[in-house]
Amino acid sequence: MSKSDSHKNAQSKAAGKNGFTEYQLKNGQKLDALSANKKRATEVERNGNFSDAVARLKSSRASQKVLQVPQNHMKRAEQVMKEAGVKGTIKNMSGTKRKSV
């Protein structure tokens, strides 16, 4: 399934000027965005399948993990991250709200 334009825009904004989009992890999965210094991993999840996104964040070795979700899914995303034992930040698509887990 191809990614929407808004998903691609969120990926490129999260990666930054010299960062990576669709970065391939060692286990073969692809991370949505990784900063240029490889310290911040970002997953953009719009459809509500948070467990797969959190698993990709967990397998990335970045020290800062960010899950970017729509505003109405933030509480559910927080629960999934806590259950998986992943520490990081959950933010809405526009970046106006943040929650540390």
Query: pLDDT at position 63, please?
Result: 94
Average pLDDT, the chain: 92
pLDDT (mean) for 13-39: 92
Q: What's the rounded Cα separation, in Å, for the pair 34 and 24?
A: 10
Which of 21, 48, 24 is CA-nearest to residue 32? 21
pLDDT (mean) for 31-44: 94
What digits encode the pLDDT tens for the residues 74-91?
999 999 999 999 999 999
Q: pTM here?
A: 0.90
